[in-house]
């Protein structure tokens, strides 16, 4: 189990005034008092805008960066005191096409990275063949990486991150810049790693749909501090975003409107009516699905219901309500 408590990272520096002098000391707090846990077989989401502190947190958890304060224990190993031991059981996979060598083949890349972990020669060959099979690059392993598609390169990144068979894997925006099909394929790999191989996974992403699809638990970070934690459904529930109900009818008389308005007050819901070309749209915003009493009231009054639809709240709706980044458009992307 990975347990991080009260992690902070503060950068201290002096800005140069001119060629001969420097200014007053300054501090930038990248991460402040962050605590999180990851169990084997669990996928944990770390969500936040650019500059929120996600990558800094991952670097501290993987012993690439020493925290200013706090503690990290992974399977009873102290990350700060035993960084070499930690590197045997963790690894990091980043998005984009970094951290692999394009002029080498996939096999050569994996041979190089396996040598960095001092894998014995016999175990090295077996591990490389196993990973090439896992990422569906068997048969393409002797082709230079520069000739690979983006999806193939990213699959190779996953193999590189698994070369030491880590117990804990930190994925920093692994689907960044990939098309929909390739991203879906990678998400399936991530699920298999957690479910079948019991890897503990920490995932950072800007794609809300990935968090909802993959994550068992979510930590939301903003300006270096945790502002929300919980399952995706917990966060949606706590935000009290509500359910949106749209009922389309052919027409609705004034008395019926008044009855529906009174009914909406009973359920503490908001209701509005919009006249369109040949029908009226009744919009209801409530904390829970209260479609049934409204449909019943309309049917009892013999109102012609054309159709209705219900929009349930999403994690993105909840995060926007918590005012991350103003209107939310520049903060999170949800185009998968």
Q: Is the dihedral of CA 142, 145, 151, 156 positive or negative?
A: positive
* Whether residues 35 and 82 fall in one domain: yes
Treating both helix axes as pointing N-terminal to C-terminal, what angle do 106-116 and 150-162 enclose, rounded to 10 degrees? 20
Mean pLDDT for 46-64 is 89
* Whether residues 253 and 201 fall in one domain: no
Decide if pLDDT at 332 tops 70. Answer: no
Mean pLDDT for 156-162 is 88
* Whether residues 177 and 296 fall in one domain: no
- Using 50, 70 and 90 to split pLDDT, how confident is the model at 329? very low
For the segment 278-291, what is each residue's pLDDT rounded down to a tens digit? 789 999 988 788 89
Give the pLDDT score at 281.
Answer: 93
Instruction: State how far the Cα of 311 lies from the Cα of 188, in Å rounded to an integer.
Output: 26
First to last CA, the chain: 31
Instruction: State how far the Cα of 221 lies from the Cα of 47, in Å rounded to an integer.
Output: 6
Asked whether residue 99 is assigned to any structural domain, the reply reads no
Give the pLDDT score at 144.
Answer: 94
For the segment 195-209, what is each residue's pLDDT rounded down to a tens digit? 998 999 999 987 788
Asked whether residue 200 is assigned to any structural domain, the reply reads yes
* Whether residues 234 and 247 fall in one domain: no
Beta carbons of 34 and 53 less than 8 angstroms apart:
yes
* Whether residues 199 and 296 fall in one domain: no
Q: What is the DSSP letter of 117?
A: T
* Whether residues 288 and 209 fall in one domain: no
Tokens matching residue 292: 């049934």
Arithmetic mean of pLDDT over the chain: 86
Asked whether residue 95 is assigned to any structural domain, the reply reads no
Tokens matching residue 4: 């991080």
Give the pLDDT score at 326.
Answer: 43
**CATH code for the domain of 17:** 3.40.50.300
* Whether residues 193 and 293 fall in one domain: no
* Whether residues 79 and 180 fall in one domain: yes
Buried/exposed 117-140: b ≥16 CB within 10 Å, e otherwise? eebeeeebeebbeebbebbebeeb
Give the pLDDT score at 97.
Answer: 62
Give the pLDDT score at 39.
Answer: 95
- Using 50, 70 and 90 to split pLDDT, how confident is the model at 70? very high
Element (H, E) at 197: none
- Max distance between CA atoms of the chain, in angstroms, equals 86
249: containing domain: 242-312
Residues 6+ apart with CB under 8 A from 330: 49
Instruction: State how far the Cα of 82 lies from the Cα of 118, in Å rounded to an integer.
Output: 17
Instruction: State how far the Cα of 296 lies from the Cα of 153, in Å rounded to an integer.
Output: 56
- Using 50, 70 and 90 to split pLDDT, how confident is the model at 96? low
* Whether residues 174 and 264 fall in one domain: no
Give the pLDDT score at 322.
Answer: 62
For the segment 121-153, what is each residue's pLDDT rounded down to a tens digit? 888 999 999 889 888 888 898 999 999 988 888
- Using 50, 70 and 90 to split pLDDT, how confident is the model at 266? very high
Residue of 79, 72, 98 whose CA lies nearest to 172: 98
Instruction: State how far the Cα of 321 lies from the Cα of 240, in Å rounded to an integer.
Output: 9
Residue of 228, 223, 227 whose CA lies nearest to 51: 223
């Amino acid at each position: 189990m990975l347990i991080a408590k009260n992690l902070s990272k503060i950068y201290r520096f002096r800005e140069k005034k001119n060629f001969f002098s420097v200014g007053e000391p300054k501090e930038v707090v990248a991460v402040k008092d962050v605590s999180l846990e990851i169990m084997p077989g669990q996928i944990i989401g770390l969500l936040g805008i650019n500059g929120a502190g996600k990558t800094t947190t991952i670097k501290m958890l993987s012993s690439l960066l020493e925290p200013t304060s706090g503690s990290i224990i992974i399977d009873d190993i102290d990350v700060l005191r035993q960084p070499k031991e930690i590197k045997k059981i963790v690894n990091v996979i980043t998005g984009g096409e970094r951290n692999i060598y394009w002029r080498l083949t996939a096999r050569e890349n994996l041979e190089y990275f396996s040598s960095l972990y001092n894998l014995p020669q016999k175990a090295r060959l077996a591990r490389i063949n196993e990973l090439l099979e896992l990422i569906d690059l068997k048969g393409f392993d002797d082709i230079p990486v520069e000739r690979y598609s983006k999806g193939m390169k990213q699959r190779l990144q996953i193999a590189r991150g698994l070369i030491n068979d880590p117990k804990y894997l930190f994925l920093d925006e692994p689907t960044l810049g990939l098309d929909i099909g390739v991203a879906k394929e990678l998400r399936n790999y991530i699920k298999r790693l957690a479910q079948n191989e019991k890897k503990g996974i920490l995932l950072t992403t800007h794609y809300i749909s990935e968090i909802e699809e993959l994550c068992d638990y979510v930590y939301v970070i903003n300006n270096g501090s945790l502002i929300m934690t919980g399952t995706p459904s917990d966060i949606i529930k706590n935000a009290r975003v509500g359910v949106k109900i749209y009922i389309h009818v052919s027409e609705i008389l004034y008395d019926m409107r008044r009855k529906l308005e009174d009914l909406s007050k009973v359920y503490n819901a908001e209701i509005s009516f919009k006249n369109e070309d040949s029908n009226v749209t009744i919009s209801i915003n409530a904390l829970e699905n209260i479609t049934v009493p409204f449909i019943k009231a309309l049917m009892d009054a013999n109102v012609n219901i054309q159709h209705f639809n219900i929009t349930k709240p999403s994690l993105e709706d909840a995060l926007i309500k918590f005012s991350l980044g103003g209107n939310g458009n520049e903060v999170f992307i949800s185009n998968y």
